[in-house]
Amino acid sequence: MAAHKNSHPSQYQNATKLLFVPDLLGYWLTGQMVCERTFASTSQFYNPVTRDWAYDLLEKLNIRTDLFAELVDPGTIHGEVEGMPLVKVGSHDTASAFAAAPVKDLSATAVLSSGTWSLLGAELDQPIISDDACKANFTNEVGVCDTIRFLKNLSGLWVIQELRRVWAEKGIHYSWNEMDSLAEKAPPFSCFIDPSHPDFTPPGDMEQRVIEQCRRIGQAYPENHGQVIRSLLEGLAFLYAKTLNTMEGLTGKSFKQLCVVGGGAKNKTLNTFTANAIGRRVITGPKEATAVGNLIIQMKSLSHIKSLGQGREIIFHSFAQEVESYLPKDKANWADAYQKWYEVTKQ
Contact 120, 151 (CB under 8 A): yes
Residue 300, domain member (yes or no):
no
Do both 346 and 206 map to the same domain?
A: yes
Per-residue pLDDT tens over the stretch 89-124:
999 999 999 999 999 889 999 999 999 999 999 999
Residue 130, domain member (yes or no):
yes
Residue in 23, 52, 73, 93 annotated catalytic: 93
Residue 311, domain member (yes or no):
no
Q: Which of 37, 59, 88 is the last residue of a domain?
A: 88
Do both 81 and 101 map to the same domain?
A: no
Q: What is the pLDDT of residue 347?
A: 62
Q: CA 211, CA 239: separation in Å to the nearest integer?
A: 19
Mean pLDDT over each residue of the chain, to the nearest integer: 96
93 included as an active-site residue: yes
Q: Note down the domain range covering 53.
A: 2-88
Do both 83 and 123 map to the same domain?
A: no
Contact 79, 31 (CB under 8 A): yes
Do both 9 and 104 map to the same domain?
A: no
Do both 14 and 53 map to the same domain?
A: yes
Do both 143 and 171 map to the same domain?
A: yes
Report the CATH number that the domain containing residue 28 is assigned in CATH.
3.30.420.40
Q: CA 281, CA 256: separation in Å to the nearest integer?
A: 7
Q: How many domains does the chain have?
A: 2
Strand 257-261 relative to strand 109-114, pairing = parallel
Residue 212, domain member (yes or no):
yes
Instruction: Give the SS3 label for residue 283.
Output: strand
Do both 40 and 168 map to the same domain?
A: no
Per-residue pLDDT tens over the stretch 236-293:
999 999 999 999 999 999 999 999 999 999 999 999 999 999 999 999 999 999 999 9
